Amino acid sequence: MTSKTFFHKALFLDRDGVINIDHGYVSKIEDFEFNDGIFELLHLFIEKGYKLFIVTNQSGIGRGYYSQNDFETLTTWMLEEFKKQNIHVESVHHCHHAPEALCACRKPATGMVDEILSLNSIDVKNSWLIGDKQSDIDLAKNSGIGSTIAIGERDIKNTTYSFSTIIEAKEFFEKNSLL
Ligand SMILES: [Mg+2]
Ligand SMILES: [Zn+2]
């Protein structure tokens, strides 16, 4: 008998500016506001069989603005809120380093995605990434993630799609069967 590995498509998600409004170094539940349309957008990917992974730079930890424990408390709460919406996130990966640490995990370095790919069977070429900064889109390129969605008003280069808001992205993917 031969066993065949099934490679899942994945959606790699930035957190601040994508899942939640980026108020700058969000670390408390009361400051965490889900972006309008994010649950609906994620449902579109889930329906098409994508597994969800969060990859987030959290240099606020390395800079001393909040603690690892603050981040974990907020993450636990966020995942519970997702669960209430029938959204399962496979895992959350964060880089806690300040930029000066020159680590291998701060986006656009590939450490977080490398870890995900080492633990899961992912069809990376047919996977997507959603981010709001050039470093997110560059991570996708550096990791071989096939398609990207840039959110917000920044001038982001080399992205497959760009939308001002999550709502606009959701409406676009509802109308067009690209996933
Ligand atoms: Mg962001
Ligand atoms: Zn790091």
Per residue in 83-94, pLDDT (tens digit) is 999 999 999 999
> What does the domain layout of the chain look like in residue ranges?
13-102+114-175
Domain 13-102+114-175 sits in CATH at: 3.40.50.1000
Cα 16 to ligand 1 centroid, rounded to whole Å: 4
- Residues lower than pLDDT 70 in the chain: 1-3
DSSP-based three-state secondary structure for 178: coil
Cα 74 to ligand 2 centroid, rounded to whole Å: 19
Cα 3 to ligand 1 centroid, rounded to whole Å: 39
Q: Provide the CB-side half-sphere exposure for 124 (13 A, CA).
A: 16
Q: Annotated active-site positions, please?
A: 14, 16
pLDDT on residue 1:
57
Give every CB contact of residue 64 below 8 A, 6+ residues apart in sequence: none
pLDDT on residue 2:
61
